[in-house]
């Protein structure tokens, strides 16, 4: 697959890093080259727009955007590219992430954002891998192996709580 980033991970603030680094961890496990940037829909709107508009031309194939509160980052990115955009609503502020979930998921028709759960950074990465697996057989193989490991691990626990009665 090479070292050229295929996935761009963005977050609105450095305070989102503890959640969003899990995204990067999964992509590393899956051998998917990616880049990580901090850019805000509200505080640095022009920079965010430039990044999104230039992503496809630089070889990025999937974008992941995490933001909290009035989270417009994923939507703002989707406004400037037709690449697949995955939104991660981040739990921050007084509303526990519901604010970010609604802001991220309620996109107008024609500008989609695939929204994962609140703080669902890992699933954002797995979804990005699923999209890439259409084109990259090695990503598909790693995803298959991961699923198999998850299945085998849980099956092994089938009787752990069999306390009888
Ligand atoms: C959002 O506001 C960021 O994505 C972050 O989740 C939240 C708070 O940002 P900071 O005040 O911590 O920089 O734009």
Cα of 146 to ligand 1 centre, how many Å?
Answer: 32
For residues 76 and 113, give the distance between their C-alpha atoms in angstroms, rounded to a whole number: 10
Specify whether domain 7-157 bears CATH 3.30.70.260.
Answer: no
Cα of 13 to ligand 1 centre, how many Å?
Answer: 5
pTM above 0.75, yes or no: yes
φ and ψ of 47, to 5 deg: -60, -40
Is residue 53 pLDDT above 80, yes or no?
Answer: yes
Please report how the helices 121-133 and 137-155 are oriented relative to each other, as an axis angle in degrees rounded to 10.
130
Residues with CB under 6 A from ligand 1: 12-13, 15-16, 40, 67-69, 90, 92
For residues 55 and 62, give the distance between their C-alpha atoms in angstroms, rounded to a whole number: 9
Nearest to 113 by CA among 83, 135, 90: 83
* Partners of 9 in the β-ladder: 36, 64
Task: Work out which ligand 1 atom sits closest to the CA atom of 67.
Answer: 4
Pocket test for ligand 1, best of 15, 87, 103 (most atoms within 8 A of CB): 15
φ and ψ of 53, to 5 deg: -65, -30
The pLDDT value recorded for residue 1 is 64
**Cβ neighbourhood burial of 155 (10 Å; 0-12, 13-18, 19+):** exposed
Task: Work out which ligand 1 atom sits closest to the CA atom of 16.
Answer: 6
The pLDDT value recorded for residue 162 is 73
Cβ pair 131, 99 in contact under 8 A: no
Residue nearest to atom 2 of ligand 1 (CA): 68
Please report how the helices 17-29 and 121-133 are oriented relative to each other, as an axis angle in degrees rounded to 10.
30
**Residues 20-51: tens digit of each pLDDT:** 999 999 999 999 999 999 999 999 999 999 99
pLDDT band at 129 (very low <50, low <70, confident <90, very high): very high
What tokens were used for 36? 């990580």
């Amino acid at each position: 697959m090479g070292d050229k980033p295929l996935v761009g991970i963005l977050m609105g603030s450095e305070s989102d890093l503890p959640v969003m680094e899990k995204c990067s961890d999964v992509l590393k496990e899956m051998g998917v080259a990616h880049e990580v940037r901090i850019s805000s829909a509200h505080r640095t709107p022009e920079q965010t727009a430039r990044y999104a508009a230039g992503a496809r031309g630089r070889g990025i194939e999937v974008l992941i955007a995490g933001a909290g509160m009035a989270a417009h980052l994923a939507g703002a990115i989707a406004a400037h590219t037709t690449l697949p955009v995955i939104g991660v609503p981040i739990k921050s502020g007084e509303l526990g992430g519901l604010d970010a979930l609604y802001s991220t998921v309620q996109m107008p028709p024609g500008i989609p954002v695939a929204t994962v759960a609140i703080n669902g950074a890992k699933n954002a990465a797995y979804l990005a891998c699923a999209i890439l697996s259409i084109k990259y057989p090695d990503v598909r193989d790693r995803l298959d192996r991961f699923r198999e490991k998850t299945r085998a691990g849980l099956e092994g626990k089938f009787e752990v709580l069999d306390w009888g009665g």
